[in-house]
Structure 1
Amino acid sequence: MPLPSSLSDARAVVFDAYGTLLDVHSAVQRHAAAVGPEAEALSATWRQKQLEYSWVLSLCGRYAPFWTLTERALDHALARHPDVDRAVRPALLEAYRSLDAYPEVASTLEALRAAGLRTAIFSNGDPAMLDAAVRAAGLHPHLDAVLSVEPAGIFKTSPRAYDLVPERLGIGAAGIVFVSSNRWDVAGAAAYGFTPVWVNRAGLPDEYPDLAPARVIRGLDGLLD
């Protein structure tokens, strides 16, 4: 297939996992009846605190596995929403290990590989949780590599974390398109020197004007346009 101009200089397309390939809210949605009317608010708090913990630890020069932060964030969310029965906690955590992929993910990854591009994940997730999630979503056959920040001992958006991608793929930053639904991650990728693409599914207003994405798309299949 002919590549769009935005991918013409790329050798690899690297994706964030959580929120980009995998729907982070699908864990709570799967158990919405048990969670009750605060399901949407609980899921939002869970995600917000999970990310906040990663940023705070990185700024403190500390690191803990992302799964640990995911558990702590859920505990905080349940404390913030005391009407939710805490008995649902194990089911929510189990569901987070097998989040739903967005419907266009597998076909987009296959199309990119058919065009001769390497595909990879680069995520804050630790290797065990990434492996479980990618296998559950059936994405392993469509990926050349699944990379975690864990060897760097620091989360995105630290340049030390992004260093792992060119090191592991053997490709310079200029040859890597980095795709994320998280605007802060897109900013980090832009600052590092990747070609960043923002998957703005929700039509959110832009942030970080000095660290702009090369493209904004509404779904991953927009990469192929």
Structure 2
Amino acid sequence: MRWFALLFLLCSTAAVAAPESPPRGTSRKKPKAPPREASPESSPRPAPTKPAEEKETKPAEEKELRYSLALAGGAFYGGGFNRGPQGSVQLTLTPPGWGRFSIDVELGWRLARFQANVPGAGVGVSAMHSLPLLAVGRMNLVKMKYLGVDVRVGVGPLLVLHHLSSNFSESSVRSALGWELLAGAQLRFPLGAIEPFLDGRVGLGEAYIPFVTGRSTGVQGLLGVRYHLP
């Protein structure tokens, strides 16, 4: 009887310690792995885009009217005593879409002065002021970072004022309206908004004043500076 009780105790202990097995036809489900987050390295990189300012720069320049103002001074020589100082104010306009072409509106001033001794009378002084107002076409031939070459051709009215004075008679002022034609070139040195330049040209024109043979046109040279207005 004791052996039977001991055998029963051993069997019940083994049954309790044995692991429970799943029933037939069923299988343990494996836990699902959490979804991986996309790393910045594996995600496709967006295509680089240009800043909005760079995209709008070129169209804005093409659609806007550009203009600049220039001041220049120099001298001219038309033969004989027809020589003297000169000055010029130039307004340059570049309409949209004109590319290398521009229009200049130029107002000039030239002075030819002559002094002579009149035997038995005194000294006479003849001064002739010329004021041309020209419409000039400009075409850019060479366009580099620090160098530019433009050719210019223009035409317009020419106002001449002749002043005659002496110490033996009253002074007098006479005027005449004529025309002037010019052709020349400008050598420019762009330095941002400020642009120094050399201007060489040949002028041809006429404004008739009786008994005055002076001529204010001829070979002209100027040194100036241009400012590109914002």
One fold, TM greater than 0.5? no
* TM-score of the two chains, using structure 1 as the length reference: 0.22
| Structure with more contact order per residue of length (Cα contacts < 8 Å, sep ≥ 6) | 1
Kindly name which structure, 1 or 2, has the bigger radius of gyration based on alpha carbons.
2
* TM-score of the two chains, using structure 2 as the length reference: 0.22
Name whichever structure is richer in strand by fraction: 2
